């Protein structure tokens, strides 16, 4: 159902987490950061090489490498500068 991943977000874009496909350790770490299904994420910055990128997750900014961000599948791309929402679906 999800066609794109976190690594595809451009700076300023937001979307909602659909599912996380990563190895168990990384999946747990991302869940601990509050990255559960329906969580809104915004890409806030990219490093000079474009990878890693920084994401706003529940009020905290977390940097992820492209290969890790690809495992976070997204849905419902928000228009840029949309009002900040919270969890869409739980």
Partner 1 sequence: MGLTNTSTGAGAVDGGLVLQKNRPEDRVIALAGNPNVGKSTVFNALTGLRQHTGNWPGKTVANAQGQCEHRERGYVLVDLPGTYSLMAHSAEEEVARDFLCFGGADAAVVVCDATCLERNLNLVLQTLELEPRCVVCVNLLDEARKKGIRVDLEGLARRLGVPVVGTAAGRGEGLEELMDAVAELTAAPEAPAPPPVRYLPPIEAAVEQLRPLLETRLAGRLSARWTALRLLDQDAALLERLSETLGWDVQRDEAVQKALEGARGVLARSGLGAKELRDCLVSRLVLTAEELCAGVVSCEREERLERDRKLDRLLTSRATGIPLMLLLLAGVFWLTIQGANYPSQLLSAGLFWVQDRLSDLFTALNAPAWLHGALVLGVYRVLAWVVSVMLPPMAIFFPLFTLLEDFGYLPRVAFVLDHAFQKASACGKQALTMAMGFGCNAAGVVGCRIIDSPRERLIAILTNNFVPCNGRFPTLIAIITMFFVGTGAGMGRGVLSALLLTGVILLGVFLTFWVSRLLSGTILKGVPSSFTLELPPYRRPRIGQVIVRSVLDRTLFVLGRAVSVAAPAGLLIWLCANVKVGGGSILDWCTGFLDPFARLLGLDGVILMAFLLGFPANEIVLPIIIMAYLSSGSLLALDDLEALRALLVDNGWTWLTAVCTMLFSLVHWPCSTTCLTIGKETGSAKWTLVSILLPTGIGMLVCFSVATTARLLGLA
Binding site for partner 1 (CB under 8 A): 11, 22-23, 25-26, 28-34, 36-37, 39, 44-52, 54, 56-65, 67-68, 83-84, 86-87, 90
The minimum distance between CB 77 and partner 1, in angstroms, equals 19
The minimum distance between CB 52 and partner 1, in angstroms, equals 5
Which CB, 6 or 15, lies closer to partner 1?
6
Q: Output the DSSP codes for the chain.
A: ---EEGGGPPTT-EEEEEEE-S-HHHHHHHHHTT--TT-EEEEEEE-TTS-SEEEEETTEEEEE-HHHHTTEEEEEEEPTTPPP---S--
């Amino acid at each position: 159902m999800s066609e794109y991943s976190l690594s595809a977000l451009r700076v300023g874009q937001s979307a909602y987490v659909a599912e996380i496909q990563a190895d168990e350790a990384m999946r747990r770490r991302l869940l601990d950061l509050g990255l559960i299904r329906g969580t809104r994420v915004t890409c806030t910055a990219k490093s000079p090489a474009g990878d890693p990128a920084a994401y706003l997750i529940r009020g905290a900014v977390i940097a992820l490498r492209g290969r890790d961000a690809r495992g976070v599948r997204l849905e419902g791309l928000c228009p840029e500068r949309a009002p900040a929402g919270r969890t869409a679906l739980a």
